[in-house]
Amino acid sequence: MPVTLLGANVKGKANFMALGWVSRVNANPPMIGVGVHKSHYTPHGIKENRSFSLNFPCAEMVRETDYCGLVSGEKIDKSELFGVFYGELETAPMIKECTLNLECRLAESLEFPTNYFFVGEIVAAYSEESYLTQGKPDIKKMEPLLLTMPDNSYWTVGDYAGAAWNIGKSLKGNE
């Protein structure tokens, strides 16, 4: 799973939590979904402001990212770890040091026995030119963190394996 830092203003203060449960849910308009355990502090801010951010840290940020998953924003001000900025929604805090930031307007909120699933419409994306190739995010330059479970380990991306929706065409035969 990709490791992200989920951002939300809670009681007027920027808060970030480590999050691995992230999924694209719609192409047009672009939407992304996040699963968050009900015990976390961050959902209060998502509900309050109807917005959130997804911030993709690089491997170099592994310590700060892990720390954001160990302590609660209810007790610790984690925003001081980062350079915080806001985009057009003005209520979804983002992290300058991250390689990619997605600013999201809450579109849907689902409640399950243990988790909330928030669907956000991506209203803007932010990245430094140094993480892009031909105007698109370059995964090797971004060095994103990945999380494997149940061993609870962080990893980085390996080598290029092939073109999606193309490499398997040779198996199709004469259809």
Q: What does the DSSP 8-state code read for residue 168? A: G
Reported residue count of the chain is 175
Q: What's the pTM value of the predicted model, to 2 decimals? A: 0.93
Q: What is the pLDDT of residues 1-57, one digit of tens each?
A: 999 999 999 999 999 999 999 999 999 999 999 999 999 999 999 999 999 999 999
What long-range pairs does 151-160 form, CB within 8 A, spacing at least 24?
A: 154/3, 154/59, 154/62, 154/66, 156/59
**101 close to 83: Cβ distance less than 8 angstroms:** no
**All domains in the chain, ordered by first residue:** 4-171 (2.30.110.10)
Q: Is the pLDDT of residue 164 over 60?
A: yes
**Sheet of strand 31-37: strand arrangement:** 13-19, 4-10, 51-56, 100-111, 115-126, 31-37, 22-26
